Amino acid sequence: MVYGNFARYYDAIYLAQGKDYEREACRLHRLVRRYGRSGGNRLLDVACGTGEHLRYLREVYRVEGLDASEAMLAVAREKLPDVPFHLGDMRTFDLGAFYDVVTCLFGSIGYVETVEGLRQAVATMARHLAPGGVLVLEPWLGPEDIEDGRTHVAVAQTPEGHIVQVGVTRVHGRISDIRFHFVVADREGIHSFEERHRLGLFTREEYEDALRSAGLEVFYDEAGLADRAVFLGRKPDGGPA
């Protein structure tokens, strides 16, 4: 299962590596103000994970989250009990609602694995946009950015003890296959578990084609949220560009 046991340690690991959710939320808001035209403030975070971005975005927006992992949503709901969270697949979800902003951040779009899945997910997110609304898509690594055999290590402290995450990335065609091994030391002793994550490797052209095919105006921002470029798609509203 993707993000099973890992969910309870997810925040500690990425915060220990310096991920700055507050800064990213501020950057995202600036992008929405620049490109959005809907005039509303309803936001849906697709693949929201533990809801850490939403902790800050909720200061400006009426936020909701969606994720395919019950374990991640459990953490998010405990953290933000007054925020609506939905269980769903980013390729097929239907909330019967429209949003001024839809986000899919931190490379989570890679979990769709295939170009067909990418197009399905983008089309589904686009259908949930209000006229003039904007989709903010932070891509996973492209085929030219990945290194076969790359290893990585992270160490984090939690209230219960420490966790060490080690991983190796293998590349199979257009799939990055990441195997993680976790060792946890806490009051109960030392225990371990493993997870495997498979993410598709898409080109800039494939992201932009998916956005256009969904009927969105396409924008590309080099600076992005965390010094990695993001794609934006705006739903036409019939007004001036």
pTM: 0.96
Name which residue leads in pLDDT, 185 or 1.
185
Are residue 185 and residue 93 in the same domain, yes or no?
no
Q: Where do runs of H (alpha helix) occur along 91-223?
A: 115-127, 204-213
Residue type, 89: D
CA atoms within 13 A on the CB side of 60: 19
Read off the pLDDT of residues 152-188 as tens digits, 9 standing for 90 and up. 999 999 988 999 999 999 999 999 999 999 999 999 9
User: Is 98 part of any domain?
Assistant: yes
Are residue 44 and residue 124 in the same domain, yes or no?
yes
Read off the pLDDT of residues 120-155 as tens digits, 9 standing for 90 and up. 999 999 999 999 999 999 999 999 999 999 999 999
Are residue 188 and residue 217 in the same domain, yes or no?
no
Supply the range of the domain harboring residue 170.
Answer: 150-200
For the chain, the domain total comes to 2
pLDDT (mean) for 194-209: 97
CATH number at residue 96: 3.40.50.150
Angle between helices 115-127 and 204-213 (to 10 degrees): 40
Percent above pLDDT 90 for the chain: 93
CATH number at residue 188: 2.20.130.10
Are residue 104 and residue 180 in the same domain, yes or no?
no
Are residue 16 and residue 84 in the same domain, yes or no?
yes
What are the structure tokens assigned to 135, written together? Answer: 């989709």
Percent above pLDDT 70 for the chain: 98
**pLDDT (0 to 100) of residue 238:** 59
User: Is 239 part of any domain?
Assistant: no
- C-alpha 77/C-alpha 70 separation (Å) is 10
Are residue 39 and residue 116 in the same domain, yes or no?
yes
| C-alpha dist (Å) from residue 80 to 67, 83, 108, 157, 171 | 15, 6, 21, 22, 36
Are residue 124 and residue 36 in the same domain, yes or no?
yes
